[in-house]
Structure 1
Amino acid sequence: MKQTLLFTDALKLKRPDAFHVMLKPSGSACNLNCTYCYYLEKSKLYEKNPGSGMKMSDELLEIFTRQFIDAHQVPVVTFTWQGGEPTLMGLDFYRKAVDLQKKYAGGKKIENSFQTNGTRLDDDWCRFFKDNNFLVGISIDGEEHNHNHFRRTRSGRPTFARVMKGIEFLHKHDVEFNTLSVVNSYNVHFAAETYRFLKKTGSGFIQFLPVVEFENEHNTPGNLRLIAPIHQDRPRVAPFSVPPAQYGKFLITIFDEWVRNDVARYYVQIFDAALANYAGENPGLCVFNDTCGDALVMEHNGDVYSCDHFVYPEYFLGNILDTPLIELVKSQSQFDFGVDKRNKLPRYCLKCDLRYFCHGECPKHRFLSTPEGEPGLNYLCEGYKLFFRHAEPYMKFMAEELENKRAPANVMTWIRNKENQVVKPIVPGRNDPCPCGSGKKFKNCCMGLPIYRT
């Protein structure tokens, strides 16, 4: 398919104003061994060069900090720390990071977000987060039985109690946090329970991430077990992956509760993103953008890849010790990676009346064929169609409220009015035939019933 180059694409290729880099200062190292984790085995990519011990050096931290801040043409710059498990670097590393951010800020406001499994949090960590205004993301998959099903330690022990203890420390120090829940083959069957539990944790911003991974049947670069679907025509979906239709029903169940009770009280990322797309705004979620490529990942040694979900040798862009970060971000390879999300949509998607909601979702999930046999259909398409079709009337109302500068939360009153509306019967004249079909006049039959009284 011929590549489409829009004016906005050309601007991005010249120099993006802002972009995200997910930092992996401890690489894939983690104190847990979650069954569905796609990142644990990335250590195999560095088996031939173990000298760094999977820990970012202070020298590299300073180089990245300077390059990252200098590359941004916006007043606010956000550092995103993830893993593996980023707390394995220790507090002193992040104290150094904050000092370097202040050194190179150059008048820009610096923010930090920190995604953790929560099991290692204590007073010291949470005091640091509070003092430095870190936004913390907690990985938790729902109630105890949901969470412990796949999220366990390396020795197979459950982790729920330790995560909840970590959340207690966050509350104790008044640290702002949100939750990230992986929707998988198990907890997909407990939608309402999961949503209500997450609200009880005190999370005001709830993220759901559908897991879809592919198991290796052939040798691949890096000898990875979980692979990108480019390696085979019909990749074998891992058993912990969320089934498409069930995922759609999961979203519908939670949406029905949220749209009736919780709009503007709790923010569910996928609902906010869908509404933004319906209203013609930026969804703020890469998988629902028409193009991607603005969210890269940097490993512990400075290696940069196109995306957190594409840390494979084929998507290696370079190392910031050899090539400045901004050159990797605006490279032709990364540009092509980003616009391919739009340009490689199959015709089936291009003509879909719900396309504006998802824009084909994540390219990693596009390994099915369309009914016409064209490759590139998203594995989760069936589920997304169920959800978007169900949510569309409510999205329409909320988008109209936004357009008229009114609160989308008005949808809750709108729904209650619709569902509680009593349909009043048409009252016949006194001498008209009774609508019950008795053949009598209305005045001699049902006229006195309560339903006809005003």
Structure 2
Amino acid sequence: HPAGQVMKADILGIYIKQHLDAWEGDNVMFSWHGGELLLAGLDFYRKVIGLQKEYNREGKRIINAIQTNGMLLDNEWCSFLSENGFIVGLSIDGTAELHNMHRKSAAGIASHNPVLKAWDLLKLYNISHELLFVVSNTNVAFPLDVYNFFRERAAEYITFLPLVEREGDNEVSPGSVDPLKFGQFLVSIFDAWKAEDIGRIKIQVFEEALRTAFGQEHTLCIFRKECGGVPLLEKNGNFYTCDHYADNENLVGNIRESSLTTLLLSRKQTDFGRHKETSLPLYCRQCEVIDMCNGECPRNRFVNTPDGEPLHNYLCPGYMMLFNHIRPFADMVATAWKSTPV
């Protein structure tokens, strides 16, 4: 939100204290969201750090994460982010030609060069960061151009975010990525990654799929059996079941009236999380790669299965293509891991 629309100091203080109290474990994650986050200004984040230090009575390790388009990143920002251990998600859609199709400044100027400078600053200040690439119908045809761009610039962590914009009940916008093309995009990149870059570049969707080889639970909410672990807290203190469902139906309460712990453990929140699994169509339950996908995000479940069941994921054909392609490699990794002496 613009500077005048950030969370007020009183609610910010309540939230930070309750978040620290509610978090189990020694490492506490704060994920800040809302438009272009740097527009909130450095003073807002200085206030955040001050309140975190004030309420962190148990000496827990605090990690703050923000996402930015990079246009406002400069030495002052990066010095602050580095000193306070922030993790930064930087939006960059690959090559200049692809990126500048949709990402321009408020003045209509191509933004690729400023974003590259922002990326260089993140590296210079040794700030942990991930690169966020939105896969749309305009760039999905260029997987290796995209991947080689990131490789050549020594990317370390990449997240591919499929663009799915609903129009009506089960239609999508012209810019939304086609599911099968999305699957082929990821398959092409997986093959290039497997050939040369395992252990050098982390790609979120591949890392998540390969967790199944080690019998590990998914870390990313969209692939977990149940969701509800990434709720949304708005600037007025309203608590929603998920950051994709900020509507009255999914309003759980307000932290000025109920503690964060109470809201997290509420029947409404837990029912929301369980509904992800209980609402899965039979078609999904019988899928050979259900352990890699678990139906993905409920917000994308708005089409019918091939046999007519509702609540099927729009992206299913693409994820099915990818995960079936990954499965032989995952099985090989699992076999090698199980046979390795402890």
Specify the TM-score bucket, using the shorter chain as the normaliser.
Answer: over 0.9
Equivalent position of 2:88 in the other structure: 136
Q: CA deviation at 1:116?
A: 1.0
Q: In structure 2, give the amino acid aligned to 1:292.
A: C
Equivalent position of 1:424 in the other structure: none
**Distance of 1:156 and 1:366 partners within structure 2:** 35
- Which of 290, 294, 297 is the matching residue for 1:359? 294
Equivalent position of 1:192 in the other structure: 144
Equivalent position of 1:92 in the other structure: 43
Equivalent position of 1:56 in the other structure: 7
**Distance of 2:138 and 2:334 partners within structure 1:** 34
Query: Any unmatched runs of 5+ in structure 2?
Result: none
Equivalent position of 2:226 in the other structure: 291
**Distance of 1:321 and 1:98 partners within structure 2:** 21
Q: Determine helix, strand or coil for the equivalent of 1:78.
A: strand
Structure 1 residues 320 and 363: CA distance shift in structure 2, 3 A: same
Q: Determine helix, strand or coil for the equivalent of 1:84.
A: coil
**Distance of 1:313 and 1:199 partners within structure 2:** 43
> Is 2:143 the counterpart of 1:180?
no
**Distance of 2:154 and 2:254 partners within structure 1:** 39
Task: Say if 2:131 and 2:158, in contact at 8 Å, map to a contact too.
Answer: yes
1:327-384 CA distance string (max 9 Å, x none)? 2111111111111110000111111112111011111111111122110111111111
Mapping of 1:270-349 within 5 angstroms?
A: 270-349=205-284
Task: Say if 2:239 and 2:252, in contact at 8 Å, map to a contact too.
Answer: yes
Task: Say if 1:138 and 1:177, in contact at 8 Å, map to a contact too.
Answer: yes
- Which of 69, 73, 76 is the matching residue for 2:24? 73
Equivalent position of 1:35 in the other structure: none
Q: In structure 1, give the amino acid aligned to 2:238.
A: D
Mapping of 1:157-176 within 5 angstroms?
A: 157-176=109-128
Q: Determine helix, strand or coil for the equivalent of 2:231.
A: strand
Q: Determine helix, strand or coil for the equivalent of 2:12.
A: helix
**Distance of 1:209 and 1:244 partners within structure 2:** 12
Q: In structure 2, give the amino acid aligned to 1:267.
A: K
**Distance of 1:103 and 1:348 partners within structure 2:** 51
Structure 1 residues 278 and 356: CA distance shift in structure 2, 3 A: farther
Q: CA deviation at 1:155?
A: 4.0
Q: In structure 2, give the amino acid aligned to 1:70.
A: D
**Distance of 2:7 and 2:340 partners within structure 1:** 47
**Distance of 1:404 and 1:78 partners within structure 2:** 35
Equivalent position of 2:184 in the other structure: 249
Task: Say if 1:82 and 1:116, in contact at 8 Å, map to a contact too.
Answer: no
Q: In structure 2, give the amino acid aligned to 1:293.
A: G
Task: Say if 1:167 and 1:201, in contact at 8 Å, map to a contact too.
Answer: no
Equivalent position of 2:307 in the other structure: 372
1:192-212 CA distance string (max 9 Å, x none)? 111121233443111111111
- Which of 194, 201, 209 is the matching residue for 1:266? 201
**Distance of 1:142 and 1:399 partners within structure 2:** 32
- Which of 402, 409, 430 is the matching residue for 2:337? 402
Q: CA deviation at 1:146?
A: 1.3
Task: Say if 2:212 and 2:330, in contact at 8 Å, map to a contact too.
Answer: no
Structure 1 residues 271 and 329: CA distance shift in structure 2, 3 A: same
**Distance of 1:358 and 1:116 partners within structure 2:** 28
Q: Determine helix, strand or coil for the equivalent of 1:189.
A: coil
Q: Determine helix, strand or coil for the equivalent of 1:388.
A: helix
Q: Percent identity?
A: 41
Name the Cα RMSD after superposition: 1.6
Q: CA deviation at 1:86?
A: 1.0
- TM-score (normalised: structure 1): 0.72
Equivalent position of 2:157 in the other structure: 205
Query: Any unmatched runs of 5+ in structure 1?
Result: 1-25, 30-51, 218-233, 407-454
**May I ask how many residue pairs the two structures share in their alignment?**
340
Q: CA deviation at 1:405?
A: 4.4
Q: CA deviation at 1:188?
A: 0.9
The structure with more radius of gyration: 1
Q: Determine helix, strand or coil for the equivalent of 1:142.
A: coil
Mapping of 1:94-109 within 5 angstroms?
A: 94-105=45-56, 106-109=58-61
**Distance of 1:323 and 1:114 partners within structure 2:** 26
Q: CA deviation at 1:166?
A: 1.2
Equivalent position of 2:317 in the other structure: 382
Task: Say if 2:210 and 2:330, in contact at 8 Å, map to a contact too.
Answer: yes
Q: In structure 1, give the amino acid aligned to 2:104.
A: R
Task: Say if 1:272 and 1:283, in contact at 8 Å, map to a contact too.
Answer: no
